[in-house]
């Protein structure tokens, strides 16, 4: 069943076309990895899906419902789509648990006491039980990124978007974050990742899309795309990064 569907999505910044007619279907529980050089439009595409950027043309459907209608209130949509950023973007003036509880408290009008058990369970699940009362600057990069994931999950989203979430991490910390993604996938979360971790994409993704100049050049299961790419541009890119 299709969870998320993009139809000819176009995004421009001034005269610069960043997404140039992108169409893509993501099935429920599927993990889709977007790969490609920096500036190919991966991050922008994710930001468009989260309605952080308005699109110029095309449609985006969530459960068959058009969420890209101009003028639509983006807030209810964003609650259903979680997003995690490369630079973590934790709120530096709040402890980890306050970071996580802020949005559910304000949006779902729940008290701290109500939220506490489920939030603690999330921290527990992602190995952060002893880090709840720490401020972001007291956490390692990997811990911060995991808190950011917990923060997005606390809103109980139906889809999760991950924007290069391991790109800013020291190599030895990448593993713990990818481990979290595997956990999530196993729990059936629908996920889209922009990533440079080819190994992870190859091993864990259900579908991989290669983007170049704002277009999807080639898409398919990792076994096909990595082992037998049909497009010369894909081959050239993979030759460089693998």
Which chain residues interact with another protein by CB under 8 A?
47, 50, 52, 74-76, 78-79, 81-83, 85, 87, 89-93, 102-103, 106-107, 148, 151-152, 155
Cβ distance to another protein smaller for residue 43 or 234: 43
How far lies 186's CA from each of 137, 179, 182, in Å?
A: 30, 11, 6
Cβ distance to another protein smaller for residue 92 or 175: 92
Hey, what are 147's tokens?
A: 């808190």
49 in Cβ contact with 6 (< 8 Å): yes
The minimum distance between CB 16 and another protein, in angstroms, equals 18
Contacts of residue 13, defined as CB under 8 A and 6 or more positions apart, other chains included, come to none
C-alpha–C-alpha distance, residues 198 and 141, integer Å: 21
The minimum distance between CB 78 and another protein, in angstroms, equals 4
**Strand 57-62 relative to strand 65-66, pairing:** antiparallel
CA dihedral 100, 102, 103, 105 (to 10 degrees): 120
The minimum distance between CB 92 and another protein, in angstroms, equals 7
Cβ distance to another protein smaller for residue 151 or 207: 151
The minimum distance between CB 202 and another protein, in angstroms, equals 28
C-alpha–C-alpha distance, residues 195 and 218, integer Å: 16
Cβ distance to another protein smaller for residue 57 or 98: 98
The minimum distance between CB 93 and another protein, in angstroms, equals 5
Cβ distance to another protein smaller for residue 74 or 220: 74
């Amino acid at each position: 069943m299709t969870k998320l569907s993009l139809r000819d999505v176009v995004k421009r910044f001034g005269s610069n076309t960043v997404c140039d007619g992108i169409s893509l279907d993501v099935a429920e529980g599927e993990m889709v990895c977007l790969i490609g050089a920096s500036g190919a439009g991966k991050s922008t595409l994710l930001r468009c899906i989260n309605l952080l950027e308005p699109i110029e043309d095309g449609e985006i459907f969530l459960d068959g419902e058009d969420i890209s209608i101009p003028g639509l209130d983006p807030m209810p949509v964003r609650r259903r789509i979680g997003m995690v950023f490369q630079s973590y973007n934790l709120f530096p003036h709040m402890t980890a648990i306050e970071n996580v509880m802020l949005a559910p408290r304000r949006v779902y009008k729940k008290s701290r006491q109500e939220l506490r058990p489920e939030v603690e369970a999330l921290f527990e699940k992602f190995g952060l039980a002893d880090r709840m009362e720490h401020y972001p600057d007291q956490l390692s990069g990997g811990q911060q990124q995991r808190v950011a994931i917990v923060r997005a999950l606390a809103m109980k989203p139906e889809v999760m978007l991950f924007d290069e979430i391991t790109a800013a991490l020291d190599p030895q910390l990448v593993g713990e974050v990818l481990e979290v993604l595997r956990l999530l996938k196993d729990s059936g979360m629908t996920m889209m990742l922009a990533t440079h971790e080819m190994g992870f994409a190859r091993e864990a993704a259900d579908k991989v899309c290669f983007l170049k100049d704002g277009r999807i050049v080639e898409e398919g299961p990792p076994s096909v795309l990595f082992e037998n790419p049909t497009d010369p541009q894909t081959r050239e890119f993979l030759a460089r990064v693998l």
